[in-house]
């Protein structure tokens, strides 16, 4: 079922139930937090519920990722043919081996890691159903090779599902950017703010290597526009007629949050924010204004790339109108 129109939360912000906030908003939340702005103020400014702000910031502090988790799908089976083969081997070598011992060995031998390690009950089931009688399994081994033995990497889906669990503990208020840890999922490729900021350069190679559909998917992700330009439903697109990141944030009721005091750090941001939130021709004033992270990466350049990307999305938006 499609939701053609977004809903409006108590703060006047627009959201699509069941769908993640656009990356632009998520990024904004993290950026503002890094400027020292309180979550409650971020919530008001971006008109995102404080629960959501809290969640996104907590996740970012834990994983270095601003991106939402993988939605939908089923968790891949852990009992891959490779795992079964190893279990069989263990059982052959030591017929009296316990399931928990097999489990330990799978881990110790690097066949599995803690994220795709089968449960003891799963191993028991394998032993019972697939291996059971070792004489049967030798027969299986000799003649039952699948016609197309699928390539079975040792950790075939670790990068898909380990990300939420592969937390990188970081001191509060000092989020690191464990780029390598934040890139467990195939797509989107990177979760970190800096990676997002520089995502163009990072992902260009991937895009060029990907089939068109994947490229489109990645484009969606980069833009945070969801299916706006692919899906006829144009979920976000129909909100204000502009299927762009900006359009999402450009609900008629949205205005840049005005700080209660002139000393507020928002002041330095307000111009950028109004451009960001409401301006159909958003451009970063400069790299530093939008990239509070003074660390690691050449953010101005990265932001140019991002701006270029946003412009590209605008083109898509314009052509869609």
Partner DNA sequence: AACGTGACGGTTGAC
Partner DNA sequence: CTGTCAACCGTCACG
The CA dihedral of 292, 295, 296, 299, to the nearest 10 degrees, is 30
Residue closer to DNA by CB (options 14, 202) is: 14
CB of 235 to DNA, least distance (A): 6
Q: Which residues in this chain contact DNA in the complex, by CB under 7 A? A: 1-3, 7, 9-11, 13, 15-21, 26, 38-41, 48-52, 54-58, 68-77, 164, 226-227, 235
CB of 48 to DNA, least distance (A): 4
CB of 71 to DNA, least distance (A): 4
Distance CA 308, CA 233 (A): 26
Residue closer to DNA by CB (options 97, 320) is: 320
Residue closer to DNA by CB (options 74, 208) is: 74
The CA dihedral of 132, 138, 142, 146, to the nearest 10 degrees, is 20
Question: Integer distance in angstroms from the first to the last C-alpha of the chain?
Answer: 23
Taking alpha carbons only, the member of 134, 170, 144 closest to residue 57 is 170
Residue closer to DNA by CB (options 234, 297) is: 234
Residue closer to DNA by CB (options 27, 316) is: 27
CB of 152 to DNA, least distance (A): 13
Residue closer to DNA by CB (options 61, 244) is: 61
316 near 222, Cβ under 8 Å?
no
Helix (H, G, I), strand (E, B) or coil at 259: coil
CB of 287 to DNA, least distance (A): 26
| Token pair listed for 133 | 């009688």
CB of 163 to DNA, least distance (A): 8
Report in angstroms the alpha-carbon separations of 228 from 16, 22, 221, 237.
12, 11, 11, 5
Distance CA 196, CA 190 (A): 7
Residue closer to DNA by CB (options 39, 292) is: 39
Q: What would the 3-class secondary structure string for 99-156 be?
A: HHHHHHHHHHCCCCCCCCCCCHHHHHHHHHHHHCCHHHHHHHHHHCCCCCCCCCCCCC
CB of 214 to DNA, least distance (A): 11
Taking alpha carbons only, the member of 143, 101, 169, 316 closest to residue 230 is 316
CB of 122 to DNA, least distance (A): 14
Residue closer to DNA by CB (options 48, 181) is: 48
């Amino acid at each position: 079922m499609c939701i053609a129109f977004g809903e409006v939360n108590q703060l006047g912000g627009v959201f699509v139930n069941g769908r993640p906030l656009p990356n632009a908003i998520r990024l904004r939340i993290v950026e503002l937090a890094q400027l020292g702005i309180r979550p409650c103020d971020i919530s008001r400014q971006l008109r995102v519920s404080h629960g959501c702000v809290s969640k996104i910031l907590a996740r970012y502090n834990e994983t270095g990722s601003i991106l939402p988790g993988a939605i939908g799908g089923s968790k891949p089976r852990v009992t891959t043919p490779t795992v079964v083969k190893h279990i069989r081997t263990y059982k052959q070598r030591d017929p009296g081996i316990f399931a928990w011992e097999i489990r330990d060995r799978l881990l110790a031998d690097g066949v599995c890691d803690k994220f795709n390690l089968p449960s003891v009950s799963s191993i028991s089931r394998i032993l019972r159903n697939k291996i059971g009688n070792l004489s049967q399994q030798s027969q299986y081994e000799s003649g039952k090779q699948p016609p197309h033995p699928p390539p079975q990497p040792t950790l075939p889906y670790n990068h898909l599902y380990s990300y939420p669990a592969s937390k990188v503990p970081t001191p509060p208020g000092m989020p690191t950017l464990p780029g390598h840890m934040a890139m467990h999922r195939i797509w989107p490729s990177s979760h970190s703010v800096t990676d997002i900021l520089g995502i163009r350069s990072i992902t260009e190679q991937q895009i060029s290597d990907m089939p068109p559909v994947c490229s489109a998917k990645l484009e969606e992700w980069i833009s945070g526009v969801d299916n706006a330009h692919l899906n006829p439903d144009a979920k976000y697109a129909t909100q204000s007629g502009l299927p762009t990141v900006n359009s999402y944030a450009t609900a008629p009721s949205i205005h840049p949050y005005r700080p209660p005091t002139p000393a507020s750090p928002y002041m330095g941001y307000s111009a950028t924010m109004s451009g960001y939130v409401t301006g159909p021709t958003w451009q970063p004033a400069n790299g530093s204004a939008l990239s509070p992270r003074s660390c690691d990466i050449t953010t101005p350049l990265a932001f140019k790339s991002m701006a270029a990307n946003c412009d590209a999305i605008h083109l898509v938006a314009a052509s869609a109108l």
